[in-house]
A and B are shown apart, each in its own frame.
Chain A
């Protein structure tokens, strides 16, 4: 069989073998309804995630802000303010990371989209690699300060502090595992695809360009 035969065979493949993949098995209104419902579910998930994040950040700020205002201990006040500042920082970093690479257009050329997705993965790797400084440290320091301010250097403080530090260490390890198990393989796959689609020289130039643009935005 030659390529012309293959083309003829390919164009003859017009009948779906799976009824669920046949547009004729659904009426026009059913098909539209199904697609619109899935699209709306996707939008709803994004909205819910953003809403939950905002509510949590607001609740943390209100609660610890109230503590900072009312507690007579300077250490508790400092710790509570640190937690409020930390939660604002977390909220801002997460929101910025998402909006910076928000929904790349699905109709752009494949090569451009792959480059954009790799830049997004690079940003996620940077974000998780530095999670200790923007996520864990401010909250941990704030909580420890508040505990010392409230209980002094007691047995409770030492036990509670140990538990909180162990929890923070677990969060750190989980994030670094996510980088190694998920993000780095994803980046490697994207790089392989880019190598397949393009000559190495052009890819490297574009990668450098995107990295530079990313650094300029990210600071």
Chain B
């Protein structure tokens, strides 16, 4: 198999879960998540020749995936701006209230719901933080300084921790 194909498949299989989580954070419906996931795969394939090894592979992947997700979200946001509230409720319709024996899926749903309360750009930082990415990678992906990443992340973590403690205990 030619090298680009093999490289692409490696990349996708190594990062399938990460890409799927990005799709879930930036779209609500299952159909939207599928569309975005497909869009990201196509963007990765098309961008593959631009990966020259200068950036870390994870940095390159985050950039391609997040730029695609943000672009996808903007198209959706312009279409639905008139009907969406900026302040998403934490508890989504149909979810049970928190209880002692929350199942893994429910706990995950609530984690995603908490992330969904964040600003669009804060979500990118939180996802990378939860993936254990370094400040250097986050700074490279967003195009800002590491110090600024630190400042922003400090605030976001505090916010997220409060929401999680309120709802996931």
Contacts and interface: CB of A to CB of B under 8 A. Distances in A.
Given A38-B42, A39-B46, A189-B77, A110 B124 contact: yes
A9 B109 CA distance: 11
A interface residue count range (under 10 / 10 to 19 / 20 to 34 / 35 or more): 35 or more
A198 B149 CA distance: 10
Contact of A197 (B23, B111, B144): B144
Interface in A55-82: none
B47 A106 contact: yes
Contacts of A35: 8, 41-42, 45
Interface of B: 5, 8-9, 12-13, 16-17, 20-21, 23, 30, 33-34, 37-38, 41-43, 45-47, 50-51, 55, 60, 63-64, 66-68, 70-71, 74, 77-78, 81, 104, 107-108, 111, 119-122, 124, 130-132, 140-144, 148, 157, 160-161, 164-165, 168-169
B142 A39 contact: no
Contacts of A215: none
A68 B71 CA distance: 47
Main secondary structure of the interface of A (DSSP, over half): helix
Interface stretch (A16-24, A89-97, A166-174): A16-24
A10 B16 contact: no
A32 B8 contact: yes
5 contacts: A3-B160, A10-B131, A23-B13, A196-B122, A197-B144
